[in-house]
Amino acid sequence: MVRKRAGKLVVIRSAKRMQGLCLRLRAEGRTIGLVPTMGALHEGHLALVRRARKLADVVVVSVYVNPTQFGPQEDFDRYPRQLAKDVELCRKEGVDVVFAPRSLYAADASTWVEEVEVSRDRCGAFRPGHFRGVATVVVKLLNICQPNVAVFGLKDFQQCEVLQRVVRDLYFAVRLVLVPTVREKDGLAKSSRNSYLSVEERAKAVLFPRILREAAESGKSDEDAAAALRKAGFLVEYVTTSRGRMCAAVRVGSTRLIDNFVRRT
Ligand code: AMP
């Protein structure tokens, strides 16, 4: 049996054990804050953890590279995995439980959660099936971890929009809290995928948030922002303003970067 001792981090790898622990904690009247991640933790993830600590008695960080949100040609195999290091970072941040399941899909799993409106455009158009994978895994995590609060990053703005819709439509009793994007000193949004960038690509990548921010803050059109990004040499997937945020995805070499800024109206 898994016991939760005050001040000591536990790592749980089984969904059943995790669910048992969380149901007991909730029955005891404790509140749970969940931070879902794919690991390779950085300061962006840690900002979410710090927010969760302020909002809940028990903080759970899930570390799971969810296969169903990657397309067949995407980076699932090479996505960085460093569980021992992630656990140490969580320990330093006062996390109570790291939930690192080996798998969240039975071999014959046949149940999916699909949001069909907000997830259509932007990343949804360029990554077919991505948000179905995200919605499905997050619903599994909510059912397993029973959180009162789940914390997500505004860096993945469309993901936030999709998950808000899923939680509303399916009546999940959880509050979603969204945290602003944490950036490198030069403005590039922190991301586990930044490790893919070569020195030259990293030098170029910094222009992405600079150009997008300038376009958003000066109230440029999406088309003009896309043109400015192309002029700087980016392969632009989209620039689309949604709910007051100018959102964009570009490629630098084989690495895909996304970002968004509040647009001046
Ligand atoms: P990931 O591990 O990339 O799936 O991200 C897990 C969570 O961390 C998601 O809610 C992301 O939006 C959030 N996140 C990732 N990068 C950042 C960042 N630079 N600033 C804030 N949140 C982030």
Ligand 1 contacts CB of residue 44 (under 6 A): yes
Q: Report which ligand 1 atom has the smallest distance to the Cα of 183.
A: 19
Reported as a pLDDT band with limits 50, 70 and 90, residue 2 is: very low
Which string of DSSP letters, residue by residue, matches the chain?
A: -----TT--EEE--HHHHHHHHHHHHHTT--EEEEEE-SS--HHHHHHHHHHHHH-SEEEEEE---GGGS-TTSSTTTS---HHHHHHHHHHTT-SEEE--S-SS-TT--------STTSSTHHHHSTTHHHHHHHHHHHHHHHH--SEEEEEGGGHHHHHHHHHHHHHTT---EEEEEPPPB-TTSPBP-GGGGG--HHHHHHHTHHHHHHHHHHHTT--HHHHHHHHHHTT-EEEEEEEETTEEEEEEEETTEEEEEEEEPP-
**Which residue has the least CA distance to atom 17 on ligand 1?**
44
Q: Is 155's pLDDT higher than 70?
A: yes
Specify the ligand 1 atom closest to the Cα of 159: 12
Task: Tell me the per-residue pLDDT of 43-73, one tens digit each, with 9 for 90 and over.
Answer: 999 999 999 999 999 999 999 999 999 999 9
| pLDDT value at 39 more than 90 | yes
Mean pLDDT of the chain: 97
Average pLDDT over residues 171-197: 98
pLDDT at 22: 98
Residue 138 Cβ inside 6 Å of ligand 1? The answer reads no
pLDDT at residue 3 greater than cutoff 50: no
Contacts of 259 (CB under 8 A, 6+ apart): 155, 181, 189, 208, 209, 212, 247, 248
Mean pLDDT of the 35-45 span = 98
pLDDT, average across residues 73-84: 97
Q: How sure is the predictor about 4, in pLDDT bands with cuts at 50, 70 and 90?
A: very low
The string of pLDDT tens digits covering residues 188-234 is: 999 999 999 999 999 999 999 999 999 999 999 999 999 999 999 99
Task: Give the mean pLDDT of 182-188.
Answer: 98
Residue 14 has pLDDT above 80, yes or no: yes
Q: In percent, how much of the chain has pLDDT > 90?
A: 97
What distance in Å separates the CA atoms of residue 141 and residue 36, rounded to the nearest whole number? 8
Take atom 22 of ligand 1 and give the residue whose Cα is closest.
153
pLDDT of residue 125: 98
pLDDT of 242 > 50? The answer is yes
Confidence category of residue 6, pLDDT binned at 50, 70, 90: low
Determine contact, residues 152/178, Cβ cutoff 8 Å: yes
Q: How confident is the model at residue 265 (pLDDT cuts 50, 70, 90)?
A: confident
